[in-house]
A and B are shown apart, each in its own frame.
Chain A
Amino acid sequence: MKTAHNIKRSVSLYSFQEEYFLRKMTLEDLIAVTQKLDIPGVEVIPDQMIPGYPELSDDFVKQWHGWMEKYERTPVCMDMFLDWNKFKGRVMTEDERVESIAKDIVNANKLGCKVIRVIHDVEPQILERLAPAAEKYGVTLALEIHAPSYYDSPHEQRLMEMFQRVQSPYLGFTLDLGVFVKRLPRVITERFLRDGMKKEIVEYLADGYEKGTLPRSSELGKPNTGLMDKVLEMGGSEEDARKAMIGAHMIYADPQLMLEYLPYTYHIHAKFYEMLPDYTEYSIPYEEIVPLLIKGGYNGYLSSEYEGNRWIQDAFEVDSVEQVRRHQVMLKRLLGEE
């Protein structure tokens, strides 16, 4: 079935962090893999894979574009962090925050990326101050909506007010599809068991999550003390409680609400935890989500972002390349590319 849409596929090289960290694959190897897997777009976290960042040497920039040409790939998105707390004893001033992101804008432009994934907590007034620089360098600042926040969360609503007032095509959102986790990833519940969490607690978390009965935290950065207390009450350790909070720090938001906000969405992290051999994702209902993205007229990249690695690395050899391959096969099918 051929469906009319303009959604493109990419991969965040973050997906391959295990092989990269263990020095099994170099940055060039990863770019070569994206060609082998027929993924047109490349997304990068420069703090992870570019030595010396935030400084970008001319030699590196030349090599980067050389790789893009050699492997016929397109740079799509650069993921920035704002190191708010890097100074001991004080947080960054507003001017320092603006300056740090302004440098990222110049760097993204050098790398040929048209979008910057902006880390969640950056305030509307900072982005507004950066709109002229973003426009000058042709780089869109797309703040990442990440579970447990969604379009209707307070910070996102404050950003929407600003986006509507400023009306700049260089300001908007990145959406992380981790907001649509329908059931807890099996890689997480299995890890809890391997780490010695009681089976009753793991079942409570998995079943309670799916039924929507677990205590929740409303916004990113707020600890879910209700859930932690419950785990302790069930005889779990402090460690179990902390793990439960991190592992169950997920949401299944209303996918329909996305339609209203897709015009403000410039990039999507197609998050996944476990691709099964039948090319479906265990916990995120891509079969429901992708048709809605098409319906809503989304026209940016869907960028595979594998995050199961950290949950299985204690017991299994991580095969990120196979996981990304399966994920892209699924995306092609749902986008009607075959």
Chain B
Amino acid sequence: MEESRHVTGVGLRRPQPKERELLCAEAIRPSVHEGQLGYLLRIRLPSYRSLPLSCIERIEVKIDGRGVDPEGMRLFLGGHSHRLDELASLSKIFWWILDHADLFVPWAEPLEQGEHEVAAVMVTVEPYMTGGRFPMYYTSRRRLPVAGED
């Protein structure tokens, strides 16, 4: 069967390995930023090369289906905190692909103990492409437990 030798259907569909995703497996950690109650989510840059922060177009988060206000969100990377609307100007700060970042999400009422459905999207641009700001979409969804307060 010459014509079908390319197409053998080898390999069963298995779940995407979660270690590659934007959202890491770490628990949701309660936190306070500038007097605002919220939580920290651990994230990675799921790209094959490091990118300047100016190449992050957008980050969106939902917890249990409810959206988080991007105004109050902060990206913590290498000991610094950045507002999302500042990222566009940070062309000299690179996010190295093995480094974690923490995302602070403002959330006034405490989350119940146990697992929560967290969904996140990050849009980046591939800056070397000359045809325009070519967007890459990294979507991630995990059930994450809430860490106990320490």
Report A-chain residues with C-beta under 8 Å of the C-beta of B132.
85
B14 touching A314 by the CB < 8 A rule?
yes
Report B-chain residues with C-beta under 8 Å of the C-beta of A83.
52, 55, 127-128
Those of B102-150 within 8 Å (CB) of chain A: 125-134
Q: What's the least CB distance linking A195 to chain B, in Å?
A: 9
Q: Say whether, besides A48-B50, A83-B128, A84-B130, A183 and B6 are in contact (CB < 8 Å).
A: yes
Q: What's the least CB distance linking A17 to chain B, in Å?
A: 5
Is B66 an interface position by the 8 A CB rule?
A: no
Report B-chain residues with C-beta under 8 Å of the C-beta of A88.
54, 88-89
A81 touching B13 by the CB < 8 A rule?
no
Is B80 an interface position by the 8 A CB rule?
A: no
Those of B75-106 within 8 Å (CB) of chain A: 88-89, 91, 94, 96-99
Is A53 an interface position by the 8 A CB rule?
A: yes
A316 touching B3 by the CB < 8 A rule?
no
Q: What's the least CB distance linking B86 to chain A, in Å?
A: 11
Q: Which of A61-69, A109-117, A202-210, A292-300 contacts the other chain? A: A202-210
A314–B13 Cα distance when bound, in Å, is 8
Q: How many residues of B contact A (CB 8 A)?
A: 39
Report B-chain residues with C-beta under 8 Å of the C-beta of A313.
17, 20
B129 touching A47 by the CB < 8 A rule?
no
Q: Say whether, besides A47-B49, A48-B50, A48-B97, A86 and B6 are in contact (CB < 8 Å).
A: no
Q: What's the least CB distance linking B122 to chain A, in Å?
A: 16
Q: Which of A2-10, A184-192, A257-265, A326-334 contacts the other chain? A: A184-192
Interface residues on A, range: 35 or more
B128 touching A315 by the CB < 8 A rule?
no
Closest to B88 in A: A88
A203 touching B4 by the CB < 8 A rule?
yes
Q: Which of A20, A47, A202 contacts B7 (CB 8 A)?
A: A202
A52 touching B128 by the CB < 8 A rule?
no
A314 touching B16 by the CB < 8 A rule?
yes
A22–B18 Cα distance when bound, in Å, is 10
Is A23 an interface position by the 8 A CB rule?
A: yes
Q: What's the least CB distance linking A123 to chain B, in Å?
A: 10
Closest to A87 in B: B91
Is A21 an interface position by the 8 A CB rule?
A: yes
**Interface pairs (7), CB distance under 8 Å:** A21-B98, A81-B128, A85-B125, A85-B133, A189-B7, A221-B129, A316-B11
